[in-house]
Chains A and B, each alone.
Chain A
Amino acid sequence: DIQMTQSPSSVAASVGDRVTITCRASRTFNTWVAWYQQTPGKAPKLLIYAASSLHTGVPSRFSGSGSGTQYTLTISGLQPEDFATYYCLQANSFPYTFGQGTKVEIK
C-alpha cells in the first residue's frame, strides 16, 4: 500500500496569507493525487485532481503541484471561507489512501 504522510497537521494563518500543505508518498508514482477541503459537518469537496488540475468552480487561489513522492497544495491569498481541513488522496494504486489531514486555523 502507498502511505501518504501529510504535513503540517495544523497551521495558523491570517486572511491574505499563503499556505502550503505537503503530502509525501511512501513510494514514487505520478499524477493521481487529489486534494479535498472539508468544513465541519460537511462532505469533502474536490479542489485539485491529477496533482495540478483545478476542479470545476474552484477558485484559482488554489493550486497543486508535485510528482514522484512529493505533492503540494498551495492556497495563495487565504480567504475567510478557506479555514477548513484539507486532505490529500492518492488514487494511483488500490487501496487508495488519504493523508492524515491539515487543519487551517485562524491566527
Chain B
Amino acid sequence: ETGVTQTPRHLVMGMTNKKSLKCEQHLGHNAMYWYKQSAKKPLELMFVYNFKEQTENNSVPSRFSPECPNSSHLFLHLHTLQPEDSALYLCASSQSTLAGGVYEQYFGPGTRLTVT
C-alpha cells in the first residue's frame, strides 16, 4: 500500500466513449503525475501538476485531458480514444517545493485500459 489509489483498476471502453480515471493520494504531497505504460515500451510521462497547476504536458494528444481540482486528487478524462491508447495508466505523487529539490515518487497500482 503506497498511499496512492487509482480507480477503476480495469476499464474497457469503445472508441466513442467518454470515461475518466481517478487518482487519490493520502500522503500530503503537492505534486501529482500521470504516466502511460504500453506493452513493450518504457514508462512515459504524460502530465505533471505542482500545487494544482499543470507544469508539464509531454506532447500528449488532446483526447487525454487531465484535471487536478486539489492537491489530493487527479483525474484523466478520456474521449474518442484509439486502440493504440490501450495501456496501463499510472498515477504518482511526490513532495515538492517551489525552490527545487529531488523527492521520490509514490505510484498507484495503475488502471489497465483497453480500447475496443
A binds B: no
B interface residues (Cβ-Cβ under 8 A, vs A): none
